Chain A
Amino acid sequence: MNNDHKQPDGFFYQPNTIRWILRAFYTSCIVLVIVDLVVHRHIITSLEKIPAFYALYGFVACVILVLIASQMRKVLMRDEDYYSRHEETMESQTAEGADDE
């Protein structure tokens, strides 16, 4: 995630810290799935009977969300001054028009 040539200082930029955080995180994910197989959940819809349904759904939903959003950029993304540039030209035109009067 970090492409800087110089390693920035600070606890959360140490490769060791990042490694440990990720390890703890992956372990928690695994534990959550194991618990799901052990614990009896209340179920309202049949979908919830799928083992670790919420985990699967959360992961897939977020991946789809990000992939679609990235594609949306191709259609929706404009320069930062997209509106302001246009509105300023309009304004200066109006101002010139007013001067002409």
Chain B
Amino acid sequence: MNEFVLSLPPFAWFFIGAVLLLVCRGVIASAITIIMPIVSFMLLLQWDHGTDYAYPLMGMDLTLVRVDRLSLLFAYLFHLAALIGGIFALHEKDKVQQIAALAYAGSAIGAVFAGDWISLFVFWELLALTSVFLVWARRTSASYHSGMRYLIIQVLSGVLLFAGALLLIRQTGSIAFTDIGLSGIGAWLIFIAFGIKCGFPFFHSWITDAYPEATPTGTVFLCAMTTKVAVYALARSFAGEDILVTIGLVMACFPIFFAVIENDLRRVLAYSMINQIGFMVCGIGIGTEMAINGAVAHAFNDVIFKGLLMMSMGAVLFRVGHVKGSHLGGLYRSMPKTTMCCIVGAASISAFPLFSGFISKSIIMLEMLEAGHTVGWLLLLFAAAGVFHHAGIKIPFFAFFAHDSGLKVKEAPANMLIAMGIAAILCIFIGSYPSFLYSLLPFPIHYSPYDVTHVLTQMQLLFFSALAFVWLNLKGLYPPELPSTNIDSEWLYRRVAPAIVSRVVVQVEGIYILMKTALLKALNHLIILLSYLSSPQSPLARAWSVNGMLLALLILMIVVLLFNYF
């Protein structure tokens, strides 16, 4: 029995928890949502590096669990995210969300442990199917539609992954999910599948569409898992592909423009998430051991600080009912603890010294320089200044300070504060003791982020970015928060495509109506003709003379005769 329990794959506990939730309720159900990640984590510590958990299926040896430093780090991370998210959602009695969140975390852990394409595909699709309920659980018309779009895009990614994997398996004969590089159509399909989940430019709009529509607690889970699984998959299969550097730079830069003018603060965070993933994708694209370390470390930190920021906005959404920058402000008086946690998250994402972002972002920037990409480095520096601008200043400033909105609300519930507190402490701990996170990274690392140059230059960058904010605000040049929608690439499938389709439909309908009226008209004429022929006035109904009849018969017989001869 004991051995059986120990040998269960790590993700199994989450699915067991999800099944148990079906029959439990109340306090026990809530307890399961946080006990399961803890139990699973304790057991995960027993798994050694290099362990494989293989099983045969239809003549293939599937590797359900592959334990190495890379997969373990992400597995630890998702356990942590599931636990913090679980605590944050402890007040939530909605069974749908509880089950979806546990199964979703289980799928993410399953995906990072998957050692072959088939297992990966199964968990890849499970990620989509379980997480969409966190969007739908908001139970509004907007969230329903958003969830539908989310599901379609996610399933598309899964289908591409499956098609690519089949082609690749046929080509190489191996089902191992490993470094494949960008050669052959199969690899490209897989690359696009990963790219969709990772939020590559033009594929990113599901993130900014669905995350702001999900429930206050659901988004905390969503922002931790799906995209990071994709980052893991890219690091596993496409490390060192040059194209990733370009893609990463675009991802790091373009969202900050949108984030500055966006009014929904959770959507601002969704944009800043794409920006942060851009840094990771750059690191993977550079592909050196150090750069991969930086990308993975940044993914680890991002889950915690982005989770923290999402939680603080979730708490505001929970209490106020919306997170529109134009209608918020002055909340620091009623939600001081949430404000503090938000500021810690903001400092971490902006990479202030002693906060977690500082120790990971700089590795990627440094590797960019070492690899000789000076322009890329300048762009990353721009993105780093920009993220401080929109996530570091804009989020806390417009939510908790800025103009006094007159909102009087209660502080966030205790469980939310505890979850945010844990995340905030982790941000400071990791930032202050980098060796903790560095020791978990996939490759050995000899890097000290705390030297005079690095601290000084980073402080200059941040303080003068803040100075720009202050100056623009005092000059009245800063774009005010306005209730609005900004069109992005989703415009293509939410407006352009429907417009084209409806135009085509109108054309087709027009042709159909034309043909229908013409046919009806022709039928009408036929009916009139027939009724005329059969009427008493018709020539056929006249009394014919005997001579005339004989003549007609004669002509008929001659015709028959002629036919007989020829």
Contact = CB atoms under 8 A, between A and B. Distances in A.
Interface string B469-482: 11111100111001
Contact of A41 (B263, B456, B461, B498): B456
Of residues A36, A56, A80, A86, which shows the largest number of chain B Cβ atoms within 10 Å of its Cβ? A80
A64 B466 CA distance: 13
A87 B389 contact: no
Contacts of B472: 62-63, 66
Interface in A25-76: 25-26, 28-29, 32-33, 35-36, 39, 41-42, 44-45, 47, 52-63, 65-70, 72-73, 76
Of residues A12, A83, A90, which shows the largest number of chain B Cβ atoms within 10 Å of its Cβ? A83
Contacts of B470: 22, 25
Interface residues of B, number: 64
A26 B463 CA distance: 9
Nearest to B406: A8
Contact of B486 (A54, A67, A73): A73
Contact of A62 (B332, B386, B456, B502): B386
A61 B486 contact: no
Contact of A66 (B263, B369, B479): B479
A50 to B, nearest CB: 12
12 contacts: A29-B463, A39-B452, A45-B377, A54-B460, A57-B381, A57-B461, A58-B467, A61-B465, A66-B468, A72-B257, A73-B261, A77-B261
Interface stretch (B286-294, B355-363, B397-405, B440-448): B397-405
A16 interface: no
A98 interface: no
Contact of B485 (A2, A68, A78): A78
Contacts of A47: 374, 378
Top 9 closest pairs, chain A to chain B, by CB: A62-B468, A8-B404, A58-B464, A69-B260, A54-B460, A55-B460, A59-B464, A58-B461, A82-B485
Interface string B137-156: 00001100100000000000
Contacts of B236: none
A46 B379 CA distance: 16
B503 interface: no
A65 B487 contact: no
B486 A76 contact: yes
Given A76-B486, A78-B487, A58 B469 contact: no
A84 B385 contact: no
Contacts of A39: 452-453, 456
Given A4-B403, A55-B464, A61-B381, A44 B369 contact: yes
Contact of B479 (A1, A4, A69): A69
A86 B495 contact: yes
B270 to A, nearest CB: 16
B457 interface: yes
A90 B498 contact: yes
Contact of B370 (A44, A67, A68): A44
Contacts of A25: 463, 466-467, 470
A25 B374 CA distance: 31
A97 to B, nearest CB: 10
B369 A32 contact: no
Contact of A1 (B142, B382, B473, B502): B473
Contact of A58 (B385, B401, B406, B452): B385
Contacts of A33: 460
A41 B468 contact: no
A10 B463 contact: no
Contacts of B483: 80
B424 interface: no
B261 A57 contact: no
A69 B479 CA distance: 8
A66 B457 contact: no
Contact of B457 (A2, A10, A28, A54): A54
B462 to A, nearest CB: 7
Contacts of B461: 54-55, 57-58
Contacts of A54: 381, 457-458, 460-461, 464
A77 B469 CA distance: 22
Nearest to B209: A83
Interface in B188-221: none
B256 interface: yes
Contacts of A63: 468, 471-472
Contacts of B386: 61-62, 65
Nearest to B379: A61
Contacts of B69: none
Interface string B261-305: 101000000000000000000000000000000000000000000
B54 interface: no
A100 interface: no
B38 to A, nearest CB: 39
Contact of B260 (A3, A44, A52, A65): A65
B404 A4 contact: yes
B12 to A, nearest CB: 40
Contacts of B463: 25, 28-29, 32, 55, 58
A88 B332 CA distance: 37
A83 B382 CA distance: 32
A59 B473 CA distance: 14
A66 B330 contact: no
A67 B389 CA distance: 13
Contacts of A86: 494-495, 498
A59 B465 contact: yes
B261 A62 contact: no
A96 interface: no
A67 to B, nearest CB: 7
Given A29-B463, A86-B495, A76 B261 contact: yes
